[in-house]
Structure 1
């Protein structure tokens, strides 16, 4: 995983709930190729998938990801290759689901007013520096701590735990 994300901004408002991110009527799908087709299809930008490029960045207002706790909302964003999700604030479960599935979720006060639709943004996960390449404005957020970076660099918490288990087994075999 890269330590810096660069991409085009897709801007959303406050209280974007999980049904806007991934409508419940699609929850029957289990394969990523099916799930990713419906990213943000319940939102003000239902055609996001057609415009989105891997690495682009979603910016939300307050309470991004509120609503149900189902992981499909994060899975659909992972499926389209979101480089990062930035918001004024996140619903707690959505935030942890994002990190645990390997998507950088960054809280940054004032971010919603710093960017416009289609601006180009750069996000440094280690320093917390966020630069709007289009306007030259910048902001700072809390940098990702080592534990979260480890989860993200391994592609999610399950992959991180599997890797740790493999390393433990290998070290036991060597002893």
Structure 2
């Protein structure tokens, strides 16, 4: 439990915090400034941040490192792949919560890539990709803030993207939706791998193995975000850990 002492502001005014269960998100001030005068007191919050507490031991999945392993063909793209290339705006009318439209959305993933990409991410007349892993250069997912981008990749059957860097909104949307793992590489893997290479990603060990070339590469750890993605996104994780009520 988290508690705070009572604070008296004069003869008749007292502020007392109530206990807060550690399974709930906390809204904690970054700094406080107390001022007094004329028998009154004021509290000024200079800045505040939202803090999600560590999960309790009862939530074993949330306290463990993610253990997912992905294996399959990789699809390689370059720098600055934006959200219009991932899923063009004309398909944003599709509603991912509708199973049929979710599948249809996935069938259009990466359809906006320029003609220089002669290999299609999804074969013609197919709805799923044979490429389980995308390997990208820098600034992957730049452009708009549409959540449809990571959702389309996940709906297409992609499990992870390994990029040199990400647009931060795409990275956040990937975690929030739980559709794909957005993994950072320590090397420029888009120049080390080719479309069609057979690769394995071991999340717990933060490494990528290219079985076609026989090379291994270190990835940056996904850390505390792993259990959120593994749970299926931020709302599924919040329900699992008791932060919000579970659906009946």
Asked if structure 1 preserves the Cα contact closer than 8 Å seen for 2:134 and 2:161, the reply is yes
Report how far residue 166 of structure 1 moved: 7.9
Q: Take 1:56 and 1:36, find their aligned partners in 2: how far apart are those partners?
A: 13
Q: CA deviation at 1:33?
A: 2.1
Preserved contact between residue 239 and residue 245 of structure 2 (Cα < 8 Å): no
* Bigger radius of gyration among the two: 2
How far off is 1:11 after superposition?
0.7
2:202 maps to what in 1?
124
Q: Which has the higher contact order (CA 8 A, sep 6+)?
A: 1
Tell me whether 60-69 or 152-161 shows the greater mean CA deviation: 152-161
Contact 2:210–2:216, Cα closer than 8 Å, also in 1: yes
How many angstroms apart in 2 are the aligned matches of 1:64 and 1:9? 16
Alignment of 1:35-46 (within 5 A): 35-44=105-114, 45=117
Q: Which runs of 5+ in 1 are unaligned?
A: 170-175
Tell me by how many angstroms 1:112 deviates: 1.2
Which of 4, 8, 16 matches 2:81?
16
Q: How far apart are residue 167 of structure 1 and its match?
A: 9.0
Are the aligned partners of 1:37 and 1:49 in contact in 2 as well (CA < 8 Å)? Answer: yes
What does residue 172 of structure 1 align with? Answer: none
Can you list the C-alpha shifts for 1:61-85, whole angstroms capped at 9, x where unaligned?
1111000001011110010121210
Aligned pair count reads 167
Tell me, yes or no, if the aligned pair for 2:67 and 2:204 is still in contact at 8 Å.
no
What is the rounded CA distance, in whole Å, between the counterparts of 1:166 and 1:105 in structure 2?
24
Q: Distance in 2 between matches of 1:82 and 1:88?
A: 18
Alpha-carbon contact 2:67-2:202 (below 8 Å) kept: no
Aligned mate of 2:173, from 94, 97, 103: 97
Q: Which moved more, 1:66-75 or 1:159-168?
A: 159-168
Moved more, 68-77 or 95-104: 95-104
**Distance (Å, rounded) in 2 between the aligned partners of 1:80 and 1:168:** 30
1:23–1:122: structure 2 CA closer, same or farther, 3 Å change rule?
A: same
Gapped regions of structure 2 (runs ≥ 5)? 1-65, 96-100
Matches within 5 A, 1:12-91: 12-30=77-95, 31-44=101-114, 45=117, 47-50=120-123, 52-53=129-130, 56-91=132-167
Which of 189, 204, 207 aligns to 1:111? It is 189
Whichever structure has more helix as a proportion of its residues is: 1
Checking the alignment, whether the CA contact within 8 Å between 1:7 and 1:83 is kept in structure 2 is no
Task: Report the TM-score when normalising by structure 2.
Answer: 0.63
Indicate the RMSD between aligned Cα atoms, in angstroms: 2.1
| Conserved 8 A contact 2:135-2:161 | yes
